[in-house]
Amino acid sequence: MAILRWLLKLMQSFLVLGKVVTLLLRGRLHRRNTIEQMAIVGTGSLVITLITALFVGAVFTIQVAKEFINFGAQGAIGGVLAIAITRELAPVLTAVIIAGRIGSAFAAEIGTMEVTEQIDALYILRTDPLDYLVTPRLVACVLMMPLLTIVAIFTGLSGGMLIAQGLYSISRDTFLDSVQRFLATWDIVSAMIKAGVFGALIAAIGTTWGLTTTGGAKGVGESTTAAVVTSLLAIFSSNFFLSWVLFGAIGSTLSRGLLGS
C-alpha cells in the first residue's frame, strides 16, 4: 500500500512538470518569486557546493595520481580528472547537495502550508498554487543547477591541480594541457543538460510531496524525508539513462551535429 502511494505521488510529480511547462508556454511566471528562489537555490548553495567540489577533486587526484605515475602516465591525470568531474561527479554531487538542502526545504515549506490550510487560502483568493509556488521553484532549480555545476567543475579541477602540484610535483602547465587535450565542449554541454534535468526532478518531487502532505507535523516530516529519498533515487536512475544517451552513439551524433566536431 505504501509503495502504491509512493508510485502515485511519483506520477503526480511528472504531471506537475507537465503543468508547469504548460504555464510557462502561456507566459505565466511570477518573476519576483522566481528571483527569490534563484537566490535561495543558487547563492544559498554556493559555499557548500564549492567546498564539496574542492575536496572531491582533491580526493580523486590522490586516488588516481600515484597509480598513473607508476605507469608513467602522469601527463593524463588532469584529463582523467576533468572527464570524471565534468561528466559525472560535478552534476551528480551538486544535485545531491541541492536535493538535501533545497528539495527538503520545498517539501517542508509547502507541506506546512498544506497542513495549515494556507494552500486552501490561495484557492479562495483564486491563486493557482502551481503558478504561485511550484513554477518559480522549478524554474529556479533548472536555471541555477547548471551554473552551480559549472562552478563545481572549475573548483574541482582547481582542487585536483593543487594536489597534483603539491604532492606529486606535476606542473600546472602539464595538468592544464592534459585537461585541454581530454576535455571536449560536448562534455560541458552534457553536464549542463544533466544538471538542468536533475534540477527539474528535484523541484517537481519536492513540491509535489509538499502539496500532497497530510497528517499535521508528523506528515510534514514524513513528506520531507520521502521527498529527499525519492529525489536521490530519481537523480541516480536518470543519470544512468542520461549518460547512456549523451555519451553513447546518440550523444556522439548530437555532439557532431550541434558542435560541428
Tens digits of per-residue pLDDT, 189-198?
999 999 999 9
- Looking at the chain, the whole-number percentage of residues with pLDDT higher than 70 is 95
pLDDT level of residue 93 (50, 70, 90 thresholds) = very high
- The owner of cell 532549480 is 141
Rounded CA-CA distance 134/196 in Å is 16
- The answer to whether residue 224 scores a pLDDT higher than 60 is yes
Cβ contact 73:171 at 8 Å: no
DSSP code at position 248 = S
User: Does residue 171 come out as left (phi exceeding 0), alpha (psi in the -120 to 50 range) or beta?
Assistant: beta
pLDDT level of residue 251 (50, 70, 90 thresholds) = low
pLDDT the model gives residue 104: 95
* Residue range 33-50: mean pLDDT, rounded: 94
pLDDT level of residue 254 (50, 70, 90 thresholds) = low
Q: Which residue has the higher pLDDT, 258 or 169?
A: 169
Rounded CA-CA distance 23/95 in Å is 25
pLDDT the model gives residue 88: 93
* Residue range 59-77: mean pLDDT, rounded: 86
In sequence order, which ranges of 71-215 are alpha helices (DSSP H)?
Answer: 77-84, 90-98, 104-115, 118-124, 129, 135-168, 172-182, 185-211
Cβ contact 53:59 at 8 Å: no
User: Does residue 117 come out as left (phi exceeding 0), alpha (psi in the -120 to 50 range) or beta?
Assistant: left
Rounded CA-CA distance 198/96 in Å is 9
Q: Residue 43: is it exposed, middle or buried by C-beta count within 10 angstroms (0-12/13-18/19+)?
A: exposed
- The owner of cell 585541454 is 180
**Beta strand segments in 202-247, E:** none
- Looking at the chain, the whole-number percentage of residues with pLDDT higher than 90 is 69
* Residue range 231-257: mean pLDDT, rounded: 81
pLDDT the model gives residue 216: 84
